Amino acid sequence: MPRLKDFLELHFIIFLWGFTAILGKLISIPAVELVSIRTLIASLALGVIIYRRGTPFWTGRKTALQVTGVGFLIAAHWILFFASARISSVSICLVGMATCSLWTSFLEPLFTKTRIKPHEILLALLIIFGLYIIFKDETDLKNILGITMAVCSALLASIFTIINSRLAKKMPSTTITCYEMGGAFLATVLFFPFYKVYFAEGGQLNFSLTASDWLWVLVLSLACTVYAYTASVRLMQRISAFTMNLTVNLEPVYGIILAFLIFRENKQVSGDFYIGASIILLSVFIYPVLDAYAVRRRKLKQAFPDEVVIGKE
């Protein structure tokens, strides 16, 4: 049974995840260099955890290559995520990331070969409507680019989350994450030559971290990545998946509130942003509720088919 301490820790973890976009804007180096450092530190820290716990590490060449390949998706996801917050604002970045559940609702049935649920289509249309309200009078190209990058980042997040749900049945979660962080680091290193030619300022990589940058990088790598991930997996042993998913929906809310307090972003966005963002966040919050209702109704129909049919008539 979950205790009050478990729920408080869960909210702290969600707070840390909401804080990642803030850290991405506080740290002075560009997104690509930041992702390379974050993933290197996280993979090394996870390696230490695996060694100390005696967790199985080697999973065979084929599986190792597959999991490492997922790290390439994670690297692209984080680069787009941090770049979005840097180009536009933390609030716009997090609203775009809130579409992750939308992408998952469409992509998961393709992976599992199941039918798309009617309420997911309805919520998808609601999210699209919210994005339309944000975009319809938006003339700032930075904001348009920022939310586009965030939505693409959310798409990648939904893909590797679906893949991880399958991998988790085959190997320990810490081992999966260690391989993926290593893969993400490798992906950024391989991307460096192309990045230097077309995107890096002055054609040079920037690893000039200040003392405060190092502090925020360690918080990002150890607290927001290693601790938050391993603790969330541990809490899943006592807290239901429904409660976990419902609480995770607070991540963009915490992040947007922090952005307003730290960067005063309420002065940088229009009224339409608030309306559109509210619609998107509403759809994110009611999704697990409708999903739980649909599952319960389907179970009742299977248990009492005659009664359900008569009731519908």
CA distances from 8 to 2, 12, 164, 249 (A): 11, 6, 26, 15
Give the C-alpha separation, 240 to 14, whole Å. 16
DSSP letter for 310, please.
H
Amino acid found at 184? A
Q: Which residue has the tokens 């339409």?
A: 272
**Alpha helices, DSSP H only, in 27-60?**
31-53
Residue 116 DSSP symbol:
P
Buried b / exposed e over 250-266, threshold 16 CB at 10 Å, is bbbbbbbebbbeebebe
**Helix 173-198 vs helix 61-87: crossing angle, to nearest 10:** 50
Task: Give the tokens for residue 140.
Answer: 């700032």
**Pairwise CA distance, residues 24 & 44, whole Å:** 21
Domain that includes residue 44, residue range = 4-312
The CA distance from 41 to 188, in Å, is 14
One-letter amino acid of 257: I
pLDDT of residue 243: 67
Could you read off the pLDDT of 164-194 as tens digits, one per residue?
A: 877 877 888 889 889 999 999 999 999 999 9
Count of domains for the chain:
1
**Cβ-contact 155, 81 below 8 angstroms:** no
* Confidence (pLDDT) at 269: 67
Predicted pLDDT at 306: 56
From 51, 45, 78, 12, select the one nearest 177 (Cα to Cα).
45
What is the number of other CB atoms lying within 10 angstroms of the CB of residue 224?
Answer: 21
Asked if 50 contacts 229 with a C-beta cutoff of 8 angstroms, the reply is: no
pLDDT for 123: 81
Nearest to 260 by CA among 246, 247, 274: 274
Taking only the tens of pLDDT, the chain with its 313 residues reads 667 888 888 889 989 988 999 999 999 999 999 999 999 999 999 999 999 999 889 888 898 999 999 999 999 999 999 999 999 989 889 888 888 877 887 888 888 777 777 887 788 788 888 888 887 777 788 888 999 999 999 999 889 888 887 787 788 888 988 999 999 999 999 999 999 999 998 899 999 999 999 999 999 999 999 998 778 877 866 776 556 666 777 788 888 888 888 888 766 667 788 888 888 888 877 877 787 787 788 777 777 665 544 444 3
Residue found under tokens 């974050």? 38
What per-residue confidence (pLDDT) applies to 313?
38
Helix, strand, or coil here: 302?
A: helix
Backbone dihedral angles phi then psi of residue 249, each to the nearest 5 degrees: -65, -15
Separation between Cα atoms, residue 37 and residue 33, nearest integer Å = 6
Give residue 312's pLDDT. Answer: 43
Please report the pLDDT score of residue 242 as a whole number: 56
